[in-house]
Chain A
């Protein structure tokens, strides 16, 4: 047997035995098992904080990707201002906290039996379940999207990963004088300011590399949905003649042959098509019956993040039916996770969790170095039974600046470490 084959087998055996250990009930040394489905900002943070706050809880994180790829800062990869390896992290930091990381796909949840079904690892029982599935796309709402995407004629790049790399390549290959056509879905969608950040940093790239190229933004919403004043000022000051913005322009179809995005009001041609489809909670949430609202989102009790549809299951992050003025952001997902971790520790100890106040901070780059920010603080409101923005708190940057750009990078490094290290 060749050495590498032996290593492969040894690896497979180790994988099998660790999964075999996971089958059945929590091990004798643990008081309970929490399974976390999804290793993004929400799930990874929940797994880590459960272990930090009660090491008697066994935590199993189920994640299909072997590496974490950050959506925040991925627009800088598109613009060529940073590289994919800078926005990737391993899950080893969570293993050091005693989290058991199962590199596997959750295919079904049986909440009655308290079991998560894995593609390769069999059935995994749990005492409490955390589901942090992110978003999946409603491709069928845009005619011919999927075949066009499979042919590489249209990309969303709204989950950082292979499409980020592909879209970067298309932007590099686009002729000077070409049109980068972006389409933004109706709110709510993942990362409200993200599309406008993307338009900004791609315009900054064009300004240097392809001065005659244009960014054309077709927005299904009537106006910029986040940090509108700051984005408009940046576009006017920095990208006059490069970015063109059209509101109330919802994509309904793609014609790959002519590289055309069909909107309700007009058909628009581009050289590179970046159409971000409408979104809803990730598919596993649908399978598990967690979706409660508009056939898209999962309503939760904001004191515990427990699903209003399925008891014993906590839902985090972009998949939730957001509270008032609450964006679908990495910072929010991270702090949802802390609400859930605190609540689960209390519940498993037989106590009643108290509500937790949380905050959000989101940075957006408007050029390679300059960023803008929005922040908010959200507190439990006993009368309205939800988290509400605290009056008088929160707001946006006074102006775009390189200082905010520095803080944006610092935020990214700290939230990556807070989730994964």
Chain B
């Protein structure tokens, strides 16, 4: 018990995948809000959305299946692995 408690007090480095997701997702905040919590009704909050949902939307933006004003141009800048990392990170954020 004591060992566990002590371990919990030491900040552990974030896993590489989470760090990549966090850092990529940070860019999105200029429109979607800090940690995906938008302060406007016009912009979709990404925090807490299911991972698969975000991945599918990004793929549909990329392919043109889902029409967009801007996201089709942004989505094309990210690989599948990057999209999965971002989606995983947003999904883990509190709404």
Q: Which residues of A contact B11 (CB under 8 A)?
A: 54, 56
Partner of A417, one of B23, B34, B69: B34
Q: Cβ of A395 and Cβ of B30 under 8 Å apart?
A: no
Q: Which of B23, B39, B43, B77 touches A379 (beta carbons < 8 Å)?
A: B77
A residues within 8 Å of B by Cβ? 48-49, 52-54, 56, 330-331, 334-335, 338, 342, 349, 351, 354, 356-359, 361, 373, 375-377, 379, 390, 392-395, 397-398, 401, 403-404, 406-407, 409-411, 413-415, 417-418, 421
The reply to whether B24 and A357 contact each other, CB–CB distance below 8 Å, is yes
**For window 34-82 of chain B, which residues contact chain A by CB distance below 8 Å?**
34, 38-40, 42-43, 69-70, 73-78, 82
- From A373, A413, A421, B70 is in contact (CB under 8 Å) with A373
Q: Which of B23, B38, B77 contacts A359 (CB 8 A)?
A: B77
Q: Give min CB distance, A381 to chain B, whole Å.
A: 13
A-B contact pairs, 19 of them (CB 8 A): A52-B34, A54-B11, A330-B30, A334-B29, A338-B23, A342-B19, A342-B23, A351-B13, A357-B78, A359-B27, A376-B77, A379-B77, A393-B78, A395-B73, A401-B69, A407-B43, A414-B31, A418-B34, A421-B39
Residues of A close to B76: CB separation below 8 A: 377, 390, 392-394
**Which residues does chain A contribute within 8 Å of B42, judged by CB atoms?**
406-407, 409-410
Asked if B73 contacts A356 (CB within 8 A), the reply is: no
Contacts of A351 in B (CB 8 A): 13
Bound Cα distance A92, B38 (Å): 19
CB of B26 within 8 A of chain A?
A: yes
Q: How far is the CB of A402 from chain B (nearest CB, A)?
A: 11
Q: Are B73 and A414 in contact (CB under 8 A)?
A: no
Contact (Cβ within 8 A) A414 B30 = yes
A342 touches B30 (CB 8 A): no
Task: Give the B interface residue count (CB, 8 A).
Answer: 31
The distance in angstroms between the C-alpha atoms of A334 and B24, with both chains bound, is 13
A410 with B77, Cβ < 8 A, contacts A335-B26, A342-B23, A351-B13 known: no
Closest B residue to A396 by beta carbon equals B73
Q: Which of A331, A393, A410 contacts B43 (CB 8 A)?
A: A410
Q: Quick one: given A406-B42, A409-B42, A413-B39, are A393 and B73 in contact (CB under 8 Å)?
A: yes
Asked if A361 and B39 make an inter-chain contact with CB atoms under 8 angstroms apart, the answer reads: no
Closest to B70 in A: A375
Q: Let me know if A418 and B20 touch, CB within 8 A.
A: no
With A338-B23, A390-B77, A417-B39 as contacts: A361 and B32 at CB distance below 8 Å: no
Report whether A377 and B77 are in contact in the complex, using a CB–CB cutoff of 8 Å: yes
Q: In the bound complex, what is the Cα–Cα distance between A379 and B82 (angstroms)? A: 12
Q: A335-B30, A390-B76 are in contact. Are A356 and B24 (CB under 8 A)?
A: yes
* Shortest beta-carbon distance from A137 to chain B in Å: 26
Bound together, the chains give a CA A54 to CA B14 distance in angstroms of 11
CB distance from A193 to the nearest CB of B (A): 15
* Interchain nearest-CB distance for A25 vs B (Å): 21
Q: How far is the CB of B84 from chain A (nearest CB, A)?
A: 14
A403-B22 Cα distance, complex, nearest whole Å: 29
A417–B35 CA distance with the chains assembled, in angstroms: 11
> How far is it, in angstroms, between the C-alpha of A358 and the C-alpha of B11 when the chains are bound?
27
Residues in B neighbouring A48, C-beta threshold 8 A: 34
Residues of B within 8 A of A409 (CB): 40, 42
Residue pair A338, B26 in contact (C-beta under 8 Å):
yes
Q: A338-B23, A349-B13, A406-B42 are in contact. Are A418 and B30 (CB under 8 A)?
A: yes
Least distance between B45 CB and chain A CB atoms (Å)? 10
**Neighbouring A residues of B28 by C-beta, 8 Å:** 359
Residues in B with CB closer than 8 Å to A349 are 13
A393: B residues at CB distance < 8 A: 73-78
CB neighbours (8 Å) of B13 from chain A are 349, 351
Pick the contact of A394: B40, B43, B77, B82 (CB < 8 A).
B77
A289 CA / B75 CA spacing, docked (Å): 39
A397 touches B77 (CB 8 A): no
Residues of B within 8 A of A331 (CB): 30
- Chain A residue with the shortest CB-CB distance to B29: A418
A361-B30 in contact (CB<8A): yes
Q: How far is the CA of A406 from the CA of B19 in the complex (A)?
A: 32
Shortest Cβ gap from A36 to chain B (Å): 17
CB distance from B2 to the nearest CB of A (A): 23
Closest to A378 in B: B77
Residues of B within 8 A of A338 (CB): 23, 26-27, 29
